[in-house]
Structure 1
Amino acid sequence: MATVKNEAGRRTRAPSALPRLLAASMRGVRRVRRPATPTAPAFDLAYVRTGPRSSLPIVVIPGGPGLGSVLPYRRFRRRAAALGLDVIMMEHRGVGLSRAELDGHSLPLSAMRMVDVIDDLAAVLDAEGVRRAYISGSSYGSYVAAGFGARHPERVAGMLLDSALQSVADRDAERAMIRELFVDGDARIAASVRELLDDGSDPRILLGVLRAAYELGGEGLLEPLLRQRVRGARRAGDSGRRPGRGSSGRGSVWSALEAYVDKGESEAHVPGFYEFDLVGAIAFRELGFGPDPDGSVLDPSLTYASIADRFPRFAGEPFDLTAAAADFDWPTVLLTGSRDLRTPAAVAQRVAEAAPDTVLVEIENGHSALESHPLALLHALQRLSRGEQRRLPAESAMMSALPRRGFVAGLPRLLATGTRWEAALRS
Structure 2
Amino acid sequence: MDNTQHQRLGRRLGRMPGVRTVPRPVEPHGGEFDLTYIREGTPGGTPLLILPGGPGLASVLPYRGVRRAAVQRGFEVVMVEHRGVGLSRTDRAGADLPMDAMTVAAVLGDLVAVLDDCGWERAVVYGSSYGGYLAQALGARHPERVSAMVLDSATSDSVGEGLQRSHLRRLFWRGEEHETAAAAAAVRHLVEERAVPVEETGVVVPVAYELGGAGLVERLLEAVRGGRVRTWNRIRDLGGKEVQRRHPYYMEFDLAGAIYYRELGKELPDGQALDPYVLFDREAERFPAFAGEPVDLAAALPAFTWPTAVLSGRRDMRSVPPAAQRTAELLPDGVLVPFENSAHSFLDFHPRVALTAAAATANAAHTRLPRLAARLEGLPRPASAHLLGPMLSAGATVDRALAASPLTS
Give the alignment's TM-score, normalised by structure 1.
0.86
Q: Which moved more, 1:82-91 or 1:107-116?
A: 82-91
Equivalent position of 1:388 in the other structure? 365
Q: Counterparts of 1:70 and 1:155 in 2: how far apart (Å)?
A: 23
Provide Cα deviations, 1:94-134, integer angstroms capped at 9, x if missing partner.
Answer: 00000011111000011001011011000001111111101
* 2:249 equivalent to 1:272: yes
Are positions 1:337 and 2:331 aligned together? no
Report whether the alignment pairs 1:196 with 2:190. Answer: yes
Tell whether 2:204 aligns with 1:223.
Answer: no
Partner of 2:156: 166
Q: Classify 1:267/1:413 alpha carbon distance in 2 versus 1 (closer, same or farther; 3 Å).
A: closer
Q: How far apart are the structure 2 equivalents of 1:112 and 1:215? A: 30
Which letter does structure 2 place at the counterpart of 1:101? D
Question: In the alignment, residue 304 of structure 2 is paired with which amino acid?
Answer: F
Structure 1 residue aligned with 2:347, among 351, 370, 378? 370
- Judged with a 3 Å threshold, the aligned counterparts in structure 2 of structure 1 residues 144 and 218 are, in CA distance, closer, same or farther, namely same
% same residue: 42
1:15 and 1:104 in contact (8 A); partners too: no
- Verify the 8 A CA contact 1:348 1:360 in the aligned structure 2: yes
Structure 2 unaligned regions, length at least 5: none
The separation in 1 between residues aligned to 2:240 and 2:154, in whole angstroms, is: 25
Q: Please say if residues 19 and 97 of structure 1, whose CA atoms lie closer than 8 Å, have aligned partners that are also in contact.
A: no
Q: Contact 2:262/2:292 (CA < 8 Å) preserved in 1?
A: yes
Question: What residue is the counterpart of 2:236 in the other structure?
Answer: 258
Q: Extract unaligned runs of 5+ from structure 1.
A: 3-12, 234-248
Matched-pair contact (CA < 8 Å) for 2:28–2:100: no
Return the alpha-carbon distance in structure 1 between the equivalents of residues 10 and 194 of structure 2.
48
2:41 is aligned with 1:47: no
User: Does 2:401 match 1:418?
Assistant: yes
* Partner Cα distance (1:293, 1:418) in 2: 29
Taking structure 1 as reference, are residues 105 and 419 closer, same or farther at Cα in structure 2, changes over 3 Å only? closer
- Preserved CA contact (<8 Å) 1:153 1:328: yes
Could you state the TM-score of these two structures normalised by the residue count of structure 2? Answer: 0.90
**SS of the residue 2:270 aligns to:** coil
In the TM superposition, what whole-angstrom CA distance separates every residue of 1:36-70 from its partner, at most 9, and x where no partner exists? 44345410000001122236411000011110011
Structure with max Cα Rg: 1
- The alignment covers a number of residue pairs equal to 397
Structure 2 vs 1, CA of residues 56 and 419 (structure 1 numbering), >3 Å: closer, same or farther? closer
Cα deviation, 1:269-308, whole Å, max 9, x if unaligned, reads 011110011111110100025x332343211221211111
Q: Name the aligned partner's letter for residue 398 of structure 1.
A: R
Q: CA deviation at 1:18?
A: 4.7
More helix by share: 2
Match of 1:296 among 272, 277, 299: 272
Distance 2:260 2:402 in 1: 34
Which amino acid counterpart does residue 384 of structure 1 have in structure 2?
T
Residue aligning to 2:114: 124
Deviation at 1:411, TM superposition (A): 8.1
In the alignment, which residue of structure 2 is the partner of 1:213?
208
